[in-house]
Chain A
Amino acid sequence: MYIFTKNLFKGDELTMMELKNKVASGLVGLFAASTLAACGTTASAPGPANTAANGPAHGGTLTIGTYTSYETFDPATSHTLLDLQIMDNIYGNLLQISSNGNLAPDLATHVSVSANGLQYVIDVRHGVKFQDGTPFNAAAVKYNWERIMNPATASVQVSNLGPVSSIVVNNPYQLTVYFSKPFAPFMDNLAGPIGMIASPTALQAEGSTFGSHPVGAGPFKFQSWVPNGAVTLVRYSHYWKSGAPYLNKVVFDPILSASTLVDALDNGQIQIADVLDPSQISQVQSSAAHVSQVPGLGWFGMNLNSASGPLRNVHNRRAIQYAVDRSVIRNIVFHGTGTLAYSQFSPSSWAYSPSLAVPFSDARAKAELASAGNPGGFSFTVQAQNTNKYILLTQILQSELAKVGITMHIQLLDLSTYITNLNSGAYQADFINMSGSLDPNSVSYIFDETSADVVKNGFNDPTVNSLLNAALATPNQAQRKQDYQTIAARMLKDVPMVNLINPAIIVGVANNVQGFINFPTQYFYLGRVSLTK
């Protein structure tokens, strides 16, 4: 489960790590049992072929400029998305997300789930070797997951693995995972950090230093990591996909400043800018590079605390929802990127419901204020991080709400106070920038399920609670989709938060880069990327 934020509100990233720790402790043990029958789900579509017109050229160094530096390359302990982007290339993944957002086989060739959702049978690819020569097999997968489950590892991935009761290796290339309770997100999660399998030999040999000497079975081998500086990966010549990868070397260079990142892209110092700030899009010179945008899986919204004060009244919350013009926020704060959000599920998610919307209407806002018993409006305080984007955003909201008589005071806070207040419910309103992973559970459960709530906004809808738990328990995606859409519709009416924007993932790509796919998950699989001469 990843809550991050990179594209827009870079300062949030810590918030998200903070939240994630809560998630790990909050989620485990909360999976409701379910008796819903489910059909077996199978991932077997082939991955997309490379997109270069005349066959990919071999060789060359690809440099990726990033907005922050890295923490660790141990998939069990990494917190940040940027680590994952690099790790995806070192480890590959059991499943991969194809460009159309579906799951595709990678190191796992077939996954099936039992009708009761309690057993997953995973077949892994034959003849694959880790970069240190250790054979990749079912036992290696089991070793990695038992390491995550071992409390001594203090892994943040426990919640992604779910309530696993045991893992049995059936034969060298097949394992069965038994769950104590059904855990539907497991399938999607196989394309996430738990699908990144490390070499057991290296894990044992390195111990606690494995995070800076990672060994996987992905397209690129770890070469070096300058502390707080660049990470260099080199081509793994025995990668299981014959011919791939095409690049000799990949360098992830933390450039840290949004404007320097664009300059570096324009002058050819880097070939991929990860990620671009929306305000910098206009600075990308079309002769050198282009901008690749895809709707992300996250959401950005104003979180309203309904536990006390004027926001306890649902009509007041609805008044805010009506009085906010999302398109102004999209145009000014997000520079015209992203999509207007009316739920936590983005257009890139299978749980997205395109028909869900509320109009921007001051008249309706005033009507709601009248129903609330305060036709002249009310006042409340919003907390925000002390960064330019939030300052811009809060001033827009303040000015829009003032038009219907709602006085919004702005309280700008440093990051740590902001997070503390967010996690303890010590706010009337604040903002959440959640960057989602593939499964809709990741962007909804920890905010909407009352007992799992990490933001303490006082939202308590028994129907939403039971639907969330039902959707967690059934592997039937059609049923889950219906559950999540019902949840979204109920939340749009009850307004525990005003979802504003589903931010786009914005990546700057040099024109000589071929085969790069910008995924909604923001993963950076470079196994099919090549450089034209």
Chain B
Amino acid sequence: MATARLPQSDETHNAGYGPQRAVRQFFHRPMNVVGVVLTVGILTLGLGARWIAPYQPDAANFSLSLALPSIHHWLGTDALGRDVLSRIIYGTNSSLLASFGAVLLAFVGGSVIGLVAGYWHNSLIDEILMRIMDAILVLPPLVLAVALTFVLGPGLANAVVAIAVIFSPQFARVVRSKVLTVRTLPFVEAARAAGSGHGRILFRHVLPSVVQPAIALATLNIGSAIIVQASLAYLGLGLQPPNPSWGFMVSSNINYLSQAPWLIFGPSIAIALSVFGITLVGQGLQGQ
């Protein structure tokens, strides 16, 4: 069977001169470079917020309410006189933490569900798991995320769980369909014949062959997760005040749009650039 040799050949390919060539190819495309620069920049801002941000994010100065952008406050101040730039920089943390965390959770949870359902194909457990996944898929993702966060209670951790739930069916579907092809391949049959248990077969033999598309999916989903996270924060369901988050900065300052537009532009641009950057990286990786 042609497909039978594929994992094998991939392995030799990657083990040899592949990685360097792949990296070279990746950086050969200008959009990928843009994506990497943006992503690295955002990661640096987030991880280094403490050293980079000029002010504490919740340091209020009531006499400096809604100050214009100036040399002291590059992006001005909000209604409480807090430095907008510092809040955007600190807000990177919650955005990245929430989106990476949620996608990681969805990746792990969805993959396990996909593995189990695919391995025991057409069994009761497959039916139950996949019908649940279908039920989640059938609902509009943002509406479901809002409903879940509402039930769990507002907060960053609950927002992460909600985003993970709405993203997990995609991973489950992708992994399950891949498992369906892999489970009948000779090396799986061989493992079974050699007396391996289900757990060993699933995680030692099946998992490595099916995880690749899930990883690609994960990189693409991070961008969407940032948007969903910002939307939840916009609705007041994410990180709670006074902690800064981009989506919440937009919603809480929308009333000042005509008086102090810089309050909205900063976090909006931050959301747009991070989604753009991470999505470019994801697409670049998928194109490999």
Chain A interface residues toward B at CB < 8 A? 258-259, 277, 279, 282-283, 325, 328, 331-332, 386, 388, 391-392, 394-396, 398-399, 410, 412, 414
Q: Mark B138-172, 1 if CB is under 8 A from A, else 0.
A: 00000000000010001000000000000000000
**CB-CB < 8 A to A282: which residues of B?**
259
Main secondary structure of the interface of A (DSSP, over half): helix
Is B65 among interface residues, defined by CB-CB distance under 8 A?
Answer: yes
Is B27 among interface residues, defined by CB-CB distance under 8 A?
Answer: no
**CB-CB < 8 A to B242: which residues of A?**
395, 398-399, 410
Are A332's CB and B65's CB within 8 A?
yes
Are A395's CB and B80's CB within 8 A?
yes
| Chain B residue at smallest Cβ distance from A388 | B252
Are A399's CB and B255's CB within 8 A?
no
Are A392's CB and B236's CB within 8 A?
no
Is B79 among interface residues, defined by CB-CB distance under 8 A?
Answer: yes
The residue from A279, A325, A386 contacting B255, defined by CB atoms under 8 A apart: A279
**CB-CB < 8 A to B256: which residues of A?**
279
10 A-B residue pairings within 8 Å (CB atoms): A259-B255, A259-B257, A279-B256, A386-B236, A391-B241, A392-B79, A392-B80, A396-B60, A396-B80, A399-B242
| Chain B residue at smallest Cβ distance from A411 | B240
With contact pairs A386-B236, A388-B252, A392-B252 given, residues A328 and B241 touching in the complex (Cβ less than 8 Å): no
The residue from A258, A283, A325, A394 contacting B241, defined by CB atoms under 8 A apart: A394
| Chain A residue at smallest Cβ distance from B63 | A328
Q: A401 → chain B, closest Cβ, in Å?
A: 12
4 shortest A-B CB distances, which residue pairs? A399-B60, A386-B236, A328-B62, A279-B255
Determine the distance from Cα of A283 to Cα of B80 in the docked complex, in whole angstroms: 21
**CB-CB < 8 A to A399: which residues of B?**
58, 60, 80, 242
Is B177 among interface residues, defined by CB-CB distance under 8 A?
Answer: no
Determine the distance from Cα of A396 to Cα of B78 in the docked complex, in whole angstroms: 12
Determine the distance from Cα of A410 to Cα of B242 in the docked complex, in whole angstroms: 9
Q: Mark B44-69, 1 if CB is under 8 A from A, else 0.
A: 00000000000000101010010000
Determine the distance from Cα of A386 to Cα of B252 in the docked complex, in whole angstroms: 11
Determine the distance from Cα of A412 to Cα of B65 in the docked complex, in whole angstroms: 23
**CB-CB < 8 A to B257: which residues of A?**
259
Chain A CB within 10 Å, residue with most, of B154, B241, B259: B241
Is B258 among interface residues, defined by CB-CB distance under 8 A?
Answer: yes
- In B229-283, the 8 Å CB interface with A consists of 236, 240-242, 251-252, 254-259
Inter-chain pairs besides A392-B79, A399-B58, 6 sampled, C-beta below 8 Å? A259-B258, A277-B255, A391-B241, A391-B252, A395-B58, A398-B242
Q: A398 → chain B, closest Cβ, in Å?
A: 7
The residue from A328, A331, A332, A412 contacting B236, defined by CB atoms under 8 A apart: A412
Are B258's CB and A283's CB within 8 A?
yes
Determine the distance from Cα of A268 to Cα of B278 in the docked complex, in whole angstroms: 47
Determine the distance from Cα of A410 to Cα of B241 in the docked complex, in whole angstroms: 8
| Chain A residue at smallest Cβ distance from B235 | A386
The residue from B62, B150, B241, B259 contacting A332, defined by CB atoms under 8 A apart: B62
**CB-CB < 8 A to A396: which residues of B?**
60, 62, 80
**CB-CB < 8 A to B80: which residues of A?**
332, 392, 395-396, 399
Determine the distance from Cα of A249 to Cα of B221 in the docked complex, in whole angstroms: 56
**CB-CB < 8 A to B150: which residues of A?**
414
Are A412's CB and B154's CB within 8 A?
yes
Determine the distance from Cα of A386 to Cα of B238 in the docked complex, in whole angstroms: 12
| Chain B residue at smallest Cβ distance from A283 | B258
Determine the distance from Cα of A259 to Cα of B255 in the docked complex, in whole angstroms: 8
Are B236's CB and A395's CB within 8 A?
no
Are B154's CB and A386's CB within 8 A?
yes
Determine the distance from Cα of A392 to Cα of B150 in the docked complex, in whole angstroms: 21
**CB-CB < 8 A to A391: which residues of B?**
236, 241, 252
Determine the distance from Cα of A412 to Cα of B155 in the docked complex, in whole angstroms: 10
**CB-CB < 8 A to A395: which residues of B?**
58, 60, 80, 241-242
The residue from B60, B240, B255, B258 contacting A388, defined by CB atoms under 8 A apart: B255
**CB-CB < 8 A to A277: which residues of B?**
255
- In B87-142, the 8 Å CB interface with A consists of none
Are B241's CB and A331's CB within 8 A?
no
Determine the distance from Cα of A394 to Cα of B60 in the docked complex, in whole angstroms: 12
**CB-CB < 8 A to B251: which residues of A?**
388
**CB-CB < 8 A to B236: which residues of A?**
386, 391, 412
Q: A454 → chain B, closest Cβ, in Å?
A: 26
Determine the distance from Cα of A398 to Cα of B259 in the docked complex, in whole angstroms: 25
| Chain B residue at smallest Cβ distance from A325 | B62
Determine the distance from Cα of A398 to Cα of B65 in the docked complex, in whole angstroms: 16
**CB-CB < 8 A to A386: which residues of B?**
154, 236
Determine the distance from Cα of A240 to Cα of B226 in the docked complex, in whole angstroms: 64
Q: B243 → chain A, closest Cβ, in Å?
A: 10
Determine the distance from Cα of A391 to Cα of B239 in the docked complex, in whole angstroms: 12
**CB-CB < 8 A to A325: which residues of B?**
62
**CB-CB < 8 A to B60: which residues of A?**
395-396, 399
Determine the distance from Cα of A392 to Cα of B248 in the docked complex, in whole angstroms: 12
| Chain A residue at smallest Cβ distance from B61 | A399
Determine the distance from Cα of A396 to Cα of B62 in the docked complex, in whole angstroms: 8
| Chain A residue at smallest Cβ distance from B256 | A279
**CB-CB < 8 A to B79: which residues of A?**
332, 392
**CB-CB < 8 A to B258: which residues of A?**
259, 283
**CB-CB < 8 A to A328: which residues of B?**
62
Are A331's CB and B259's CB within 8 A?
no
Q: B124 → chain A, closest Cβ, in Å?
A: 39
Q: B82 → chain A, closest Cβ, in Å?
A: 9
Determine the distance from Cα of A328 to Cα of B58 in the docked complex, in whole angstroms: 17
Determine the distance from Cα of A328 to Cα of B61 in the docked complex, in whole angstroms: 10
**CB-CB < 8 A to B252: which residues of A?**
388, 391-392
Q: A327 → chain B, closest Cβ, in Å?
A: 9
Determine the distance from Cα of A332 to Cα of B78 in the docked complex, in whole angstroms: 10
**CB-CB < 8 A to A279: which residues of B?**
255-256
**CB-CB < 8 A to B255: which residues of A?**
258-259, 277, 279, 388
| Chain B residue at smallest Cβ distance from A385 | B236
| Chain A residue at smallest Cβ distance from B65 | A332
Determine the distance from Cα of A414 to Cα of B242 in the docked complex, in whole angstroms: 18
| Chain A residue at smallest Cβ distance from B66 | A332
Determine the distance from Cα of A56 to Cα of B97 in the docked complex, in whole angstroms: 65
Q: B200 → chain A, closest Cβ, in Å?
A: 48
**CB-CB < 8 A to A398: which residues of B?**
242
Q: B26 → chain A, closest Cβ, in Å?
A: 43
Determine the distance from Cα of A398 to Cα of B58 in the docked complex, in whole angstroms: 10
| Chain B residue at smallest Cβ distance from A279 | B255
